[in-house]
Amino acid sequence: MQQGIQGKVVVITGASSGIGESTARHLAKLGAKVVLGARRTDKLASIAEEIRAAGGESAFAAVDVTREAEVKALVQTAIEQFGRIDVMINNAGLMAIAPMSQLRTDEWDRMIDINIKGVLYGVAAALPHFEQQGGGHMINVSSVAGIKVFAPGGSVYSGTKFAVRAISDGLRQEMAGKVRVTSIEPGAVDSELKYGSGDQASREAVIGFYQQAIPADSVARAIAYAIEQPADVAINEIVLRPTAQE
Ligand code: NDP
């Protein structure tokens, strides 16, 4: 595997805002070639253009991570534009907080589809290339909610983020010696994520809790730390919270 960040080809899902956008900008500044995916292509186009204007290398493609073929096509964009993929960051996510008794099964479905199946489709898209290239780095964005359940309201979101950690550790064990696997577990980070619930009372409670949130760039730096390690070192988990968060 190539060392450091310079020259690495990094694919990022959910790159149109928040953690994904910050990570794309940060890694591009450090010399990575970044490939941005999300549904809002107008946002991706302007972020990719700003990265290029600042001297970086970038590409983008529309992707809905709940559609396996589109995630595969995003990785194919990296192969076509830059010849390889070194790092896959499965970051796209939805947090729809609400008490389970409200039975918002549509939001449960969305969270399972985006947060779990989206990560799995990212694994499926990148892994064959990693195996063919003789290495690679899978980074999955879980959450502090993947370590601790915040109830009432966070049960299903937590379930998806526990799943991301479980899938990450299983993949790590299976691919030891071939693929590095990192699970990122942030606490409250300032982004659009806090607006994800259809339940107004829950949404307002989340917005209140997020007053202590730290900037998305904090997570971008943690991700860069995992990528920049020498090839024989795998950072398997990073937990970071606002200092003020209990
Ligand atoms: P944002 O809401 O700002 O970003 C979410 C990103 O995911 C957007 O770029 C959005 O783009 C994309 N996305 C959502 N649904 C889909 C989809 N179906 N297909 C493709 N892309 C999709 O939130 P964050 O940046 O905060 O979230 C990023 C990750 O970090 C998530 O997995 C979240 O759970 C996790 N996280 C966030 C924390 C926080 O406090 N903010 C804490 C812990 C973890 P678009 O709408 O254009 O498709």
Residue 65's contacts (CB-CB under 8 Å, 6 or more residues apart) are 13, 14, 37, 71, 90, 92, 114, 117, 118, 119, 121, 122
**Over residues 224-242, mean pLDDT:** 97
CA dihedral of 234, 25, 160, 41, whole degrees rounded to 10 = -140
Distances 187 to 81, 182, 210 between C-alpha atoms, Å: 34, 16, 10
Which strands form 136-141's sheet, in the order they lie side by side? 57-62, 33-38, 9-13, 87-90, 136-141, 179-186, 237-240
Q: Are 84 and 9 in contact (CB under 8 A)?
A: yes
- What pLDDT is stored for residue 96 in this prediction? 98
Tell me what the pLDDT averaged over the chain comes to.
Answer: 97
Burial of residue 4 (CB within 10 Å: 0-12, 13-18, 19+) is middle
Is 157 in the active site?
A: yes
Is residue 122 lining ligand 1, measured as CB closer than 6 Å? no
- What pLDDT is stored for residue 29 in this prediction? 98
Is residue 110 lining ligand 1, measured as CB closer than 6 Å? no
Q: Smallest Cα–Cα separation from 163: which of 196, 103, 212, 115?
A: 115
In this prediction, residue 1 has a pLDDT band, given cuts at 50, 70 and 90, of low
Index of the ligand 1 atom closest to the CA of residue 15: 9
Is residue 96 lining ligand 1, measured as CB closer than 6 Å? no
pLDDT greater than 70 at residue 83: yes
State what percent of residues in the chain have pLDDT above 70: 99
pLDDT digits (tens, 9 = 90+) for 201-213: 999 999 999 999 9
Index of the ligand 1 atom closest to the CA of residue 145: 43
Of the candidates 157, 195, 210, 225, the residue annotated as catalytic is: 157
- Please report how the helices 118-133 and 155-174 are oriented relative to each other, as an axis angle in degrees rounded to 10: 10
Q: Are 128 and 51 in contact (CB under 8 A)?
A: no
Between CA 25 and CA 166 the distance in angstroms is: 29
Distances 129 to 47, 48, 59, 120 between C-alpha atoms, Å: 26, 24, 18, 15
pLDDT digits (tens, 9 = 90+) for 166-182: 999 999 999 999 999 99
pLDDT digits (tens, 9 = 90+) for 51-81: 999 999 999 999 999 999 999 999 999 999 9
CB atoms within 10 A of CB 233: 9
Instruction: Give the CATH H-level superfamily of domain 9-240.
Output: NAD(P)-binding Rossmann-like Domain (3.40.50.720)
Q: How far is the CA of 172 from the centre of ligand 1 (A)?
A: 23
Nearest CA to ligand 1 atom 48: 39
Is residue 184 lining ligand 1, measured as CB closer than 6 Å? no
pLDDT greater than 70 at residue 118: yes
Place of tokens 């990212």: 122
Q: Are 200 and 158 in contact (CB under 8 A)?
A: no
Index of the ligand 1 atom closest to the CA of residue 164: 32
- What pLDDT is stored for residue 3 in this prediction? 75
Domain residue extents for the chain = 9-240
